[in-house]
Structure 1
């Protein structure tokens, strides 16, 4: 069976896990290509105006895969449980609705959309039945696999994903411990690392002689803990991690770049909070939309790096 995975949204967070899981179940995984203008154009035609840039891109990826796969994996992610202070850990509501959005957008192929539900909390505010492992067990059953096969595949995939996370976290620590000018690039992975919208900033920074440290590739547990210290009431799990990365890196980098896709609701609130809370290091906010071009991004990065250099020279 050919399982398609859109190379967008939470692919940049869980893609390694998903691919390893399906391959361990002897499924062929088909990834959509890197985002380009065509994907954005296709997705924009399929979306309502209020959709964020990343969701428009995602729908473009799904449309491309429909012509090339048996099933397309679109999970439903509702929440991750509760914090120690009783705050519900959630993600953007679009991720909870994503499976239904895709099925209704491509209603003629709705039966080909493969999903699972990750929801750690039931209606009675206790631990629910749809934790990640249970969700993948249901997914394996839907694919006709035995429980033993599915459990083995899930555990193997989790181990591979954990190793990948440790490797990436070590890479970020290595950069932080090194010499030279460094900036923390903080944002959702599907914005920061998307080849069409956010990733070009990496090349631009390299040309300017600046090393990028990525918030989404740091140790997640450490970031969540530090994020709670900076603001204990932020409910969005990934934004809490971003808060934590800022807290852990603010004295180890020369500047911070907050990168977001228009019009992201959670980011619009948390980025404003970060700008207000972080006063000891320069912060640049970059909002990417359908009309964003590389020239404007490059100009803003050049100006920001100039400010960092002037500031560093003045401190000597």
Structure 2
């Protein structure tokens, strides 16, 4: 193998640039030519491809987002779209591909691998919803962003003696809500993986008020409901003073944490090694601090699971 490509697809995540840097520099270290594919699978179809040098990835390890940019590409779901992408790879002489992204990105990489283009997936998403890895790139940074917001909101919640509902991202996974809820001392955490009765939540709020508690923080994962709708229902049933903060895309931005930079560097390096070993159709990850890799078929369509013990702990500590 002499030439490889790298692209980022789906939602951006802090640490993607660190992964791109690792792929490029590891590749060049092993005498490979590395090509950047801009705007994800859409850019692949359009041939938006440029050779990357060592200097191309200088001073990007600390930057959020992705220098290769990203775009949604419904066309790539089709065989025709995939064939257009393969034609571009052949045109540039690219023999293997590293794809940084989430579930949808992996499905595109799997399709290419099945059609003769070896692909390695790197889990890049703040949602932490990819099987086969304990952490995804961007998750740790997103947690720190949310915690910073919760700490600030708690100050004003305490000052005005109010209940705050904070909506966080995560798509259909509750990891961001669970981790930040526990770390931020939230009284209630709503996640898609566990059904929660609104009556129990109201009872918990009343118990806190009876013992003199002046404020409460409720974390709502977007996969459960909208924070605004939940707050309206709470207010209607309790007549409490409730405010809502929807953190939104602020959770995706910002300089990646040290953990995400190191994780991205390790995963990017291993992805290149797998291509050099002649392997494709695999995704890299981290388990028990060891870098691992799995066949796409082993991890796609695996239901996401939260840490049940952590959720139990959050309930015990929020009495």
Q: Give your verdict on TM over 0.5.
A: no
What TM-score, normalized by structure 1, do the two folds share? 0.31
What TM-score, normalized by structure 2, do the two folds share? 0.31
Larger Rg over CA atoms: 2
Report which structure shows greater RCO (CA 8 Å, sep ≥6): 2
